[in-house]
Amino acid sequence: MSSEKQAEEAIVSSLNETMEHEEEDQGDNSVFSVKSLLWHGGSVYDAWFSCASNQVAQVLLTLPYSFSQMGMLSGIILQVFYGVLGSWTAYLISVLYIEYRTRKEKENVSFKNHVIQWFEVLDGLLGPYWKAIGLAFNCTFLLFGSVIQLIACASNIYYINDKLDKRTWTYIFGACCATTVFIPSFHNYRIWSFLGLGMTTYTAWYLTIAALVRGQVEGVTHQGPTKLVLYFTGATNILYTFGGHAVTVEIMHAMWKPQKFKYIYLLATLYVFTLTIPSASAVYWAFGDQLLNHSNAFSLLPHSAWRDAAVILMLIHQFITFGFACTPLYFVWEKVVGMHDTKSICLRAVSRLPVVIPIWFLAIIFPFFGPINSAVGSLLVSFTVYIIPALAHMLTYKSASARKNAAEKLPCFLPSWTAIYAVNMAIVIWVFVVGFGLGGWASMTNFIKQVDTFGLFAKCYQCPPSPSSKHH
């Protein structure tokens, strides 16, 4: 029997035990059938919706801003480039997860009531130092990813109701987003992932159609790129856009058959292209260099019921995405305080609350919607979802015996270990030099400029001087 077949049978056996356990708990009540339909997902389709929904939320509103920094052609090319790169490293993460889980299943380790996370995969395959590196980068990225969603909520709602400043809205939405502590795991995002993607799809096509109907503003210019610092700031925001697979392992673990995940992220990315490329291109075409001072695309579009609907739907999706980013942090914290195996949802929710407090606080300190995406992309996403997975894959299979006994076969489109290593090394070098190096310099320069201009704890970032007259 092949190692791949053994891996599949081991994982399926473990999952069958888990499902049988859950069925015993649920019984035959028809209420639970409805509950399972809406609340308890684990199929390939659930994973696709989770990946696509998590990949594009508030960043959709900042991509026109990135296009103004780097020009339309570069924006489109880099979206495709980083989309493919992100799909490849998500594939590597899925392979490493299967490898780790297969080895543990052979040791009769049970994962009932335990969610496998990326740092545990690194620990099991490469040792404690890699566990520490993975834990530090992943948690910091997810922390700031949650911060960004909270900032985006305040930034968006302001365009419907400007009677309150953005900082006050951050207080309010911080309290609202704290309710995600009651969602146990990624199994329970079935209906939310579906709704979230539908909401973002509406917003993307609203941006596209509204910009085209509005037409180009008088005297529009498209001078980007004009400065290297702006070019690489925009590039790292796109790197951030397609680096949403910090939660890949948790999404895989929620699947009934995680070995089927391999190409799901790529399929999700292809759909995301249909949202990001048309909307960013249309808004940049219509408003051009005005976007350099408007990081949120909503700020330039005329007030209407259609825009209000897009804002509200995006707010709901950002709440969902906040939960996506925070849930792995909840798991880590539960394991630290010894609550991860607790069956009581209420006890777990109470234990999770301390995770939300620093997110709330950071969103109030750094309300720089747009520039913060690029900073997080260059300093955290570059390592978390590009460099570390590529290095981990190369080190895991460095020996001939490891390659021979690999749980997963090589992909049909790249059936050579030499080619795999060449691609991985190219990703490491490119992302380190361009994403972390040049991107880090550019994004931090831009970020510091925002701090100097608006200050920390800015009350209303990029708000017009007279908010009350904005709609008149």
CATH number of domain containing 163: 1.20.1740.10
Q: How far apart, in whole angstroms, are the C-alpha atoms of residue 379 and residue 383? A: 7
Query: Does 280 map to a domain?
Result: yes
Contact 187, 34 (CB under 8 A): no
Mean pLDDT is highest, among 3-7, 16-20, 133-137, 186-190, for: 133-137
- Is it the case that residue 471 has pLDDT exceeding 50? no
Does residue 122 form part of some domain? no
Q: Which pTM was predicted?
A: 0.85
Task: List, for residues 3-43, the tens digit of each pLDDT value.
Answer: 555 555 555 455 444 444 444 444 444 445 655 655 566 78
Please tell me the number of Cα atoms within 13 Å of 373 on its side-chain side. Answer: 31
| Predicted pLDDT at 306 | 93
Q: In this predicted model, what pLDDT tens digit does every residue of 318-352 receive, in sequence order?
A: 888 888 888 889 989 988 888 887 888 888 889 99
Q: Would you say residue 469 has pLDDT above 50?
A: no
The answer to whether position 2 is within a domain reads no
How many Å apart are CA 118 and CA 97, to the nearest integer? 8
Instruction: Decide which of 453 and 358 is more confident.
Output: 358
- Token duo for residue 172: 């309010």
- pLDDT score of 472: 39
Residue 82's domain spans which residues?
Answer: 42-108+128-454
Whether residue 369 lies inside any domain: the answer is yes
Q: Report the percent of the chain where pLDDT is more than 70.
A: 86
Looking at the predicted structure, is the pLDDT value of residue 373 above 80? no
Residue 33 lies in a domain: no
Q: How many structural domains does the chain have?
A: 1
For residue 379, the model assigns a pLDDT of 87
Q: What is the pLDDT at residue 280?
A: 95
Q: What is the pLDDT of residue 160?
A: 81
pLDDT band, residue 277 (cuts 50/70/90): very high
Mean pLDDT of the chain: 84
Is 459 within the bounds of a domain? no
Is residue 114's pLDDT more than 90? no
On whether residue 12 sits in a domain, the answer given is no
Least confident of 22-36, 146-160, 282-296: 22-36
Does 45 score more than 60 pLDDT? yes
Look-up: residue for tokens 């234990």?
351
The label of the residue with tokens 């989770």 reads 50
Which string of DSSP letters, residue by residue, matches 92-133? HHHHHHHHHHHHHHHTT---TT----HHHHHHHHH-HHHHHH
For residue 205, tell me if it sits in a domain. yes
